[in-house]
């Protein structure tokens, strides 16, 4: 009987995220959008930024309501209400130049920073929008002769390629800090929050920078921006790349970078508020007065130097820093995390208990994969200070097709007894993993999709931005790693037992739009195969067969899955039915 159910019923709107699907998409007029940056507003709205193609590739920004719908009050008269394409700032097509960062200021204004291309040269570029999505016309930039009226390109040097890696708003006063690579060196610029001009006033903590001896020849020798050398084990000339930036409550700036060329070294730089090196940032080896630049060195079991590279940096509530990194061992990169004290020494209390290459102060939490970004859960809830990391794990453990991975790390910041321990309460979308879960971003697509940034709210929920089928998309996960979909209950008639003849039939009837007296929750929790729709001949049939005790080939017989289904093997489906729908174990 159930094999005859071929009708399709899409559930009505549900109070959870994106009509119960757990994945929100930003509409577009073409099919080439990519999501790169994400930030949460204090009111729960979600701001995302990326690269949008409409004839040319421009940065773009969109704002979603807390439920995942588009916020139509943002750029309300635009072609897509809720979304703003920032025309005139063409993004270079090379993937490594597409980093797009989005920041929300205390006054609700939105800053977007990326790398733009003009006449075969790359520049950092910045835009600022008012809370309603209009351009902030007071944000003119450094070139007074050519005011930007809300968006502009920067030229830090006279001729070098200048690539943005990260941006932040200075905690103490909201000034805009940009870091990246100019030519072959770390570079940094700071803009005034008032108008976007370079922060040059030395009488007002302007960015003066380090001594000239610490700068390469291409340095502009002007306040508000500079290049700097970072001599490393692998490169005495000091070449490198600023990857991520964080600021302190006192206005100091910390840059996590990658030093060297083909051989990488993890390097940290800490500046005073005026851009001079912080002499107290010395780690555990530099002489007094020679601080500011700290290399984190490590060796393998044989004592050979190991390559490491930076991915992201965040400051904890207690003023210490977490640094996400890549650790090269044997023939592949691993994902790792350090905790660093304010003076630059590695905090050995951050220890997972895992075997080498993890060690006190460093957690290697995924043996294979590229680290991308991480977030620290804010607030005071049970999940406060928890670390959730995002990585690219395509091909790991048989997961293929644009696979991302999330790991949770416990992180008590004051007298914590579980610092650095993998948090096994993160069990993932199917409920069958512990500490790290994998999810295929091809989930709603047949294309190769990616994720790039992660953020978290005070409830322990976290959000990941990427792209789905040429659209910017946002995944919302609950604290245990479940996608924030509708509920998936098994005993819908509440008689204390699970029966295919009653519960299963009621759920199938609901999928077909047939009235039922049972309490079948709306939403997409019953999307068993994860293809984005509720289908009685697939989802309903799988659920009923499982209630009847079928498994493996018998449960899957005759079912054809969509190419974009996120769960298409019995192992994945059984885990979801047992853990997320609470159908008892066979």
- The pLDDT score that the predictor gives to residue 263 is 64
> Is there a cis peptide before residue 126, judged by omega within 30 degrees of 0?
no
> Would the pLDDT of 52 be above 70?
yes
Confidence of residue 454 (pLDDT cuts 50, 70, 90): very high
- The pLDDT score that the predictor gives to residue 289 is 64
Backbone φ, ψ for residue 46 (5° rounding): -115, 125
DSSP 314-337: EE-TTS-EEEEEEEEETTEEEEEE
Q: Element (H or E) spanning 509, and its range? A: helix 505-511
Confidence of residue 104 (pLDDT cuts 50, 70, 90): very high
> Would the pLDDT of 450 be above 90?
no
- The pLDDT score that the predictor gives to residue 12 is 39
Weakest-pLDDT range from 66-80, 163-177, 258-272: 258-272
Mean pLDDT of 338-351: 93
User: CA quadruple 459, 465, 467, 471: dihedral positive or negative?
Assistant: positive
Q: What's the DSSP call for residue 296?
A: E
pLDDT tens for 8-32 read: 333 333 458 998 989 999 998 876 8
User: CA quadruple 236, 238, 242, 246: dihedral positive or negative?
Assistant: positive
- The pLDDT score that the predictor gives to residue 4 is 35
- The pLDDT score that the predictor gives to residue 399 is 56
- Calculate the alpha carbon distances from 26 to 23, 35, 64, 466, 470 in Å: 10, 9, 8, 11, 10
pLDDT tens for 422-431 read: 999 999 999 9
pTM metric for this prediction:
0.92
- The pLDDT score that the predictor gives to residue 586 is 64
Instruction: Say if residues 30 and 568 touch (Cβ distance below 8 Å).
Output: no
- The pLDDT score that the predictor gives to residue 96 is 67
pLDDT tens for 480-499 read: 999 999 889 999 999 999 99
233 or 129, which is more confident: 129
pLDDT tens for 249-285 read: 999 999 999 998 766 889 999 999 999 999 999 987 7
Mean pLDDT of 402-406: 85
| Residue 116: partners with Cβ closer than 8 Å, 6 or more residues away | 59, 89, 90, 91, 92, 122, 123, 124, 125, 153
Ranked by mean pLDDT, the top range of 189-198, 493-502, 557-566 is: 189-198
Rounded to 5°, the CA angle 313-315-364 comes to: 50
Mean pLDDT of 172-195: 97
User: In this structure, what is the dihedral angle of CA atoms 545, 538, 399, 338, given to the nearest 10 degrees?
Assistant: -90
Region of residue 372 (left: phi > 0; alpha: psi -120 to 50; beta: else): alpha
Q: Element (H or E) spanning 245, and its range? A: strand 240-247
The position carrying tokens 């399709």 is 8
Q: Element (H or E) spanning 511, and its range? A: helix 505-511
- The pLDDT score that the predictor gives to residue 400 is 56
> Would the pLDDT of 5 be above 60?
no
> Would the pLDDT of 182 be above 80?
yes
Kindly report the average pLDDT of the chain as a whole number: 89
- 356 Cα distance to chain centroid: 27
- The pLDDT score that the predictor gives to residue 550 is 95
């Amino acid at each position: 009987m159930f094999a005859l159910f071929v009708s399709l019923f899409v559930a009505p709107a549900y109070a959870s995220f994106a009509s119960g699907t757990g994945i929100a998409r930003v509409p577009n007029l073409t099919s080439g959008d990519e999501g790169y940056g994400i930030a949460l507003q204090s009111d729960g709205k979600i701001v995302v930024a990326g690269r949008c193609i409409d004839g040319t590739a421009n940065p773009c920004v969109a704002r979603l309501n807390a439920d995942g719908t588009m916020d139509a009050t943002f750029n309300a008269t635009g072609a897509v209400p809720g979304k703003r394409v920032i025309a005139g700032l063409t993004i270079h097509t090379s993937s490594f130049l597409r980093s797009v960062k989005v920041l929300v200021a205390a006054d609700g204004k939105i800053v977007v920073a990326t790398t733009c291309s003009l006449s075969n040269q790359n520049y950092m570029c910045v835009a600022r929008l008012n809370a309603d999505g209009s351009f902030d016309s007071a944000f003119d930039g450094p070139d007074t002769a050519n005011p930007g009226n809300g968006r502009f390109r920067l030229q830090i040097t006279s001729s070098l390629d200048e690539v943005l890696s990260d941006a932040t708003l200075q905690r103490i006063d909201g000034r805009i800090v940009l870091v990246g690579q100019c030519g072959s060196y770390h570079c940094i610029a700071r803009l005034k929050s008032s108008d976007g001009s370079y922060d040059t006033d030395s009488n007002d903590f302007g960015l003066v920078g380090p001594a000239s001896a610490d700068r390469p020849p291409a340095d502009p020798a002007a306040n508000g921006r500079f290049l700097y050398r970072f001599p490393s084990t692998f490169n005495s000339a000091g070449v490198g790349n600023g990857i991520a930036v964080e600021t302190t409550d006192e206005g100091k700036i910390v840059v996590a970078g990658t030093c060297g060329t083909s051989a990488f070294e993890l390097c940290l730089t800490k500046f005073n508020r005026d851009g001079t090196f912080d002499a107290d940032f010395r780690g555990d080896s530099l002489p007094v007065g020679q601080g500011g630049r700290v290399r984190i060195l490590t060796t393998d079991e044989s004592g050979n130097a190991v390559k490491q590279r930076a991915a992201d940096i965040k400051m904890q509530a207690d003023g210490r820093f977490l640094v996400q990194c890549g650790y090269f061992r044997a023939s592949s990169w691993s994902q790792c995390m350090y905790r660093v004290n304010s003076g630059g020494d590695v905090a050995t209390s951050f220890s997972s208990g895992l075997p080498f290459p993890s060690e006190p102060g460093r957690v290697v939490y995924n043996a294979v994969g590229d680290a991308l970004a991480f977030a620290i859960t804010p607030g005071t809830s049970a999940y406060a200070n928890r670390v959730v990391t995002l990585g690219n794990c395509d091909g790991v453990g048989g997961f293929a097709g644009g696979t991302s991975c999330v790991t949770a790390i416990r992180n008590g910041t004051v007298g914590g007894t579980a610092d650095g321990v993998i948090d096994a309460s993160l069990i993932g979308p199917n409920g069958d993993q512990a500490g790290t879960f994998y999810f295929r971003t091809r989930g709603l697509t047949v294309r190769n999709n990616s994720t790039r940034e992660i953020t978290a709210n005070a409830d322990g929920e976290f959000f990941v931005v990427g792209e789905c089928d040429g659209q910017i998309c946002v995944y919302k996960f609950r604290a245990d790693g479940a996608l924030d979909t509708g509920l998936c209950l098994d005993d819908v008639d509440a008689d204390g037992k699970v029966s295919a003849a009653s519960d299963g039939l009621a759920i199938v009837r609901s999928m077909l739009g047939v009235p039922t007296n049972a309490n079948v929750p709306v939403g997409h929790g019953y999307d068993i195969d994860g293809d984005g729709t509720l289908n009685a001949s697939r989802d309903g049939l799988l659920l009923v067969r499982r209630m009847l005790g079928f498994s493996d080939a018998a449960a899957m017989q005759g079912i054809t899955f969509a190419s974009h289904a996120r769960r298409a093997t019995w192992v994945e489906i059984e885990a979801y039915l047992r853990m997320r729908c609470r159908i008892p174990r066979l």
